[in-house]
Amino acid sequence: MQINIIKIGGNVIDYPQKLEEFLFLFSRFPGKKILVHGGGIMATKFGESMGVMPKMVDGRRITDADTLDIVTMVYAGLINKQIVAKLQGLNQNALGLTGADGNSILSEKRPIKTIDYGYVGDILKINTGLIENLLEDNIIPVFSAITHDKKGQLLNTNADSIASELATSLSNNHKVNLYFCFNKPGVLIDEHNENSIIPLINEEIYGELKKERVIHSGMIPKLDNAFAALHKGVNHVWIGKAENLLLAAKGKLSGTIIENHKYDLY
Amino acid sequence: MQINIIKIGGNVIDYPQKLEEFLFLFSRFPGKKILVHGGGIMATKFGESMGVMPKMVDGRRITDADTLDIVTMVYAGLINKQIVAKLQGLNQNALGLTGADGNSILSEKRPIKTIDYGYVGDILKINTGLIENLLEDNIIPVFSAITHDKKGQLLNTNADSIASELATSLSNNHKVNLYFCFNKPGVLIDEHNENSIIPLINEEIYGELKKERVIHSGMIPKLDNAFAALHKGVNHVWIGKAENLLLAAKGKLSGTIIENHKYDLY
């Protein structure tokens, strides 16, 4: 089957009105689909209201036991279930999951090299069987960014990584498209001009754009991640604004499509 | 198939050590099974640490919007996912659900008569298809006590009611046993003597025990609920201590069994 995996983060989740609008668009997105959501600033806010402050070590955010409890409550509890209930209200048969549920995403606690990130999980294996069964029954899996180690421990996990790993694992037997909803309308030539979207990037173009420093800093891991997914069989990766998701679904230019086919931009 | 539905509440969940022990026993419970958990005092504690105090109207606890957020976080998030992860660690393929997930339990907001209970749901319908599919795939559904109205609203729902309604709905096509883990070892003749367990109660005996005021106050709704389930086709209902669950599974006397067969107690 063809499977569309859509990832949203804080720039959608943190704003109730935007989340509502996104869920409406998502409900209109045709075909088999999976939603992956990060957490945004809500976990930090709830944590602070309970006296749990973000923990930083050498400038990196770490997940201690209290923080893990908070993200589990906010991501897997409040946000995930509100999204599921709202999708049900839109006649979308959503079912919320963490990686622990049905052992759908197995991780290991990130090994300590220089920094101990705490209860952070690096994904080892996706249980595609469960996900395929759900999709075949027309159920829409909605993943929060929590996984587990199969030894009883929940682990905080990067939502982009969950989306990518789901996409690559499912692409063994299916045609998978990956959609990253982003705070910009795509990859931009001029980061201050939202009309300067680069519509299509392949590896050749990516190399040139990096050399010319058009693509730099935060966009590089995002695109490296996208190309890694393509190399593992994902059909295409889209980066754009949540509000343009339906245009993307219809194949209209509405963000940046990343694919491995040769394409002559100039 | 034969399905065992086990319900635990605060007297297990509020004590990490007891929960751990219970989950080990549950993992040894043979056959197809479903776990239903209430919330205990954790939601209240977390709520208070965030400045959300329990709301009471005319002495009855109500679920306002803030309280609903808290119970969704604590029941459907923290407790549910910790239980699922721990069961996975015991090689039990658990999958956590609210009634919103897969539209598994549809409720309506309790109609306002004299008291507005707020976001409290009374169950209308169980989607047995999803639950049967999961059980057939050897997945163990783990329900938290949150449901939804299919219009986008989550609802706080009594965990005993969820267990009973699951049992009666599934008993249309299956042999269903219902196990209520309780803070006493069963229904007692003398409430101060834990050795005075009544091993078996049928409707006739229940009538007599009520007349003699051996069974009174809080036990009455519990037993009424049990008999209602039996009338709707549930095979038997067990009430006892969590630590005796495995004895119950083996058919040994270990609590009170409630059934509709004639049984001569005296």
**Contacts with A27 (C-beta within 8 Å, 6 or more apart), sequence order:** A87, A90, A91, A92
Cα torsion angle, A22, A28, A30, A31, sign = positive
Question: Mutation test of the interface with chain B: which of A48, A97, A103, A125, choosing the one with the most B Cβ atoms within 10 A?
Answer: A103
CA distance A44 to B181: 36
| Residue after which a domain boundary falls, among A181, A204, A238 | A181
Are B157 and B55 within one domain?
A: yes
**Contacts with A122 (C-beta within 8 Å, 6 or more apart), sequence order:** A107, A108, A110, A157, A161
Interface contact B242, partner A, CB < 8 A = no
CA distance B178 to B156: 21
CA distance B239 to B197: 10
Whether the pLDDT of residue A110 is over 80: the answer is: yes
Q: In this structure, what are the phi and psi dihedrals at residue B215, rounded to the nearest 5 degrees?
A: -105, 125
Mean pLDDT of A57-86: 93
ipTM value for the complex: 0.94
**Contacts with B129 (C-beta within 8 Å, 6 or more apart), sequence order:** none
Interface contact A150, partner B, CB < 8 A = yes
Domain assignment of residue A240, given as a range: 184-266
Amino acid at A58: D
Are A167 and A205 within one domain?
A: no
Taking contacts as CB-CB distances below 8 angstroms, the residues of chain B near A84 are: 98, 100-101, 148
Count of residues for chain A?
A: 266
- The pair of three-digit structure tokens given for residue B66, joined into one six-digit string: 């803030």
Taking contacts as CB-CB distances below 8 angstroms, the residues of chain A near B75 are: 77
Binding residues of B, by number, are 39-40, 61, 156
DSSP letter assigned to residue B185? S
pLDDT value of position A3 = 98
Whether the pLDDT of residue A1 is over 90: the answer is: yes
Taking contacts as CB-CB distances below 8 angstroms, the residues of chain A near B148 are: 84-85, 88
Computed over its alpha carbons, how large is the radius of gyration of chain A? 18
Dihedral (C-alpha) A223, A227, A233, A237: value to the nearest 10 degrees? 30
Interface contact B150, partner A, CB < 8 A = yes
Contact B146 A81 (CB under 8 A): yes
Nearest C-alpha of chain A: how many angstroms from B167?
21
Whether the pLDDT of residue A265 is over 60: the answer is: no
Average pLDDT over chain A reads 93
Are B72 and B135 within one domain?
A: yes
Contact A77 B80 (CB under 8 A): yes
In this complex, which of A78, A95, A150 lies closest to B72 when CB atoms are compared?
A78
- The pair of three-digit structure tokens given for residue A152, joined into one six-digit string: 């009883």
Of B138, B129, B104, B126, the closest CA to residue B32 belongs to B138
Contact A88 B76 (CB under 8 A): no
Cβ proximity of B1 and B174 under 8 Å? yes
Give, rounded to a whole angstrom, the gap between the first and last alpha carbons of chain B.
34
| Residue after which a domain boundary falls, among A164, A181, A198 | A181
Are A174 and A221 within one domain?
A: no
Beta-strand (E) ranges in B20-139?
32-37, 55-57, 60-62, 94-97, 105-109, 121-126
How do the pLDDT tens digits run along chain B, 266 residues long? 999 999 999 999 999 999 999 999 999 999 999 999 987 788 888 888 888 888 888 777 899 999 999 999 999 999 999 999 999 999 999 999 999 999 999 999 999 998 899 999 999 999 999 999 999 999 999 999 999 999 999 999 999 999 999 999 999 999 999 999 998 999 999 889 999 999 999 999 999 999 999 888 888 888 998 999 999 999 999 999 999 999 998 888 899 999 876 555 45
Mean pLDDT of A83-94: 98
Taking contacts as CB-CB distances below 8 angstroms, the residues of chain B near A153 are: 85, 89
Are A50 and A110 within one domain?
A: yes
| Residue after which a domain boundary falls, among B181, B199, B217 | B181
Are A42 and A168 within one domain?
A: yes
Neighbours of B20 (CB within 10 A): 13
Helix/strand/coil (H, E, C) string of chain A?
A: CEEEEEEECHHHHCCHHHHHHHHHHHHHCCCEEEEEECCCCHHHHHHHHCCCCCEEECCEEEECHHHHHHHHHHHHHHHHHHHHHHHHHCCCCEEEECCCHHHCEEEEECCCCCCCCECEEEEEEECHHHHHHHHHCCCEEEEECEEECCCCCEEECCHHHHHHHHHHHHCCCCEEEEEEECCCCCCECCCCCCCCECCEECHHHHHHHHHCCCCCCCHHHHHHHHHHHHHCCCCEEEEECHHHHHHHHCCCCCCEEECCCCCCCC
Are B138 and B213 within one domain?
A: no
Chain A residue closest to B98 (CA)? A81
Chain A residue closest to B74 (CA)? A73
Amino acid at A86: K
Contact B100 A80 (CB under 8 A): no
Q: Tell me which of A178-187, A206-215, A240-249, B54-63 is least confident.
A: B54-63
In this complex, which of A78, A98, A137 lies closest to B81 when CB atoms are compared?
A98
pLDDT value of position A53 = 86
Contact B73 A77 (CB under 8 A): yes
Buried b (16+ CB within 10 A) or exposed e, A120-139: bbbbeebbbebbbebbeeeb
Are B73 and B170 within one domain?
A: yes
Q: Based on the structure, what is the number of domains in chain B?
A: 2
Whether the pLDDT of residue A151 is over 60: the answer is: yes
Taking contacts as CB-CB distances below 8 angstroms, the residues of chain A near B50 are: 46, 49-50
Are A27 and A135 within one domain?
A: yes
Integer angstrom CA distances of residue A243 from A24, A58, A179, B178: 10, 36, 12, 47
Chain A residue closest to B68 (CA)? A78
pLDDT tens-place string over residues A227-247: 999 999 999 999 999 999 999
Contact A152 B81 (CB under 8 A): no
**Contacts with A158 (C-beta within 8 Å, 6 or more apart), sequence order:** A38, A145
Interface contact A71, partner B, CB < 8 A = no
List the CATH number of the domain containing B17: 3.40.1160.10
Are A99 and A215 within one domain?
A: no
Higher pLDDT, B8 or A265: B8
Are A199 and A171 within one domain?
A: no
Interface contact B133, partner A, CB < 8 A = yes
Are A202 and A172 within one domain?
A: no
CA distance B198 to B183: 15
Q: In this structure, what are the phi and psi dihedrals at residue A6, rounded to the nearest 5 degrees?
A: -120, 130
Contact B150 A73 (CB under 8 A): no
